[in-house]
Structure 1
């Protein structure tokens, strides 16, 4: 069992590290180019592996609150990367049964995270884990809830484009956050207040979300700009 856990941990860390490095390539490479597409696919495969190994490690090892929470973040990041990747397949074919099932399953996970955060809030007060479970559970609920709405109403022509880069970007932020906070105990002094650890979880999402929002606004303005016809 120890050998299995060690192997899973090595695979988890290795694929997570590869994802952080490879995930930068699509951000700077030509959109839709071969390098962009192949690097993005490698990133998605890494996130699938990260999520599976996280679930196995959580189930095979003794219960720890941080381990459970990191597993939730791994699932959240996997959902974002998968829906971001699947968006490029949906621009013609639309949503599949797999897409819908994945969304409903993630909705259940988000409600479980929020419920567990509320339980911790009642039993432990407003401390580190209740805040984080509630925050990321709500964040996951927002994404899954929006996807459920998209199942039942028409979407804009370029919906797949915005879905693709916002979800892939969100997945990268979640992965970066998990790596950051895992190493925060090594980076911060032992006397550091608890709010600094909480900020390590939340600030990347806030900053990254603002950058993604600015990118969305840029492309919406670009796509909606009137075309100028040059008369010779």
Structure 2
């Protein structure tokens, strides 16, 4: 219900205000499991993608966003649930494994799951190396991966900003990447790294970012 209201009312209103440029939305399968893998420039990315995607895309979000009190806390919970987000405890040392298990459950239900292979947002605009969680999901579930290139979302909600600003953003959905059965017999570590590199190359082609060549480490302020 939350999502239906958001997509019927809030999404068109947001698009009218921010007027995002959306390219390749038809590349997102309307049914069946799919992994939406994007670069990550801003906290607002997890709001931008669900607003412009042609179907619901489930993202994981910090548990803190769902535990507020009073009217503000209720409003935040309603907003994030409306976007299809699921709370996770990012400070739990087992959170990474638990997040992948949750993602596989979502894909197993035939839904779309959104992931940032870089792990955390880029603070200098470069595209960091992808972590292999996206490959684990693709190879385990057999779901295709739709790469996404976000441009300009760092201006929509800059680091340290509490509220979004008016800024033009571009969202580019690439053609689905299919990996099912392509890595049968290939050592698991090699398969995951090769799949991850292919996904990141597709994201880079869409976003036009300079590759950083290293992993991005999570900031305490992320």
TM-score using structure 1 length = 0.26
Q: Is the radius of gyration larger for structure 1 or structure 2?
A: 1
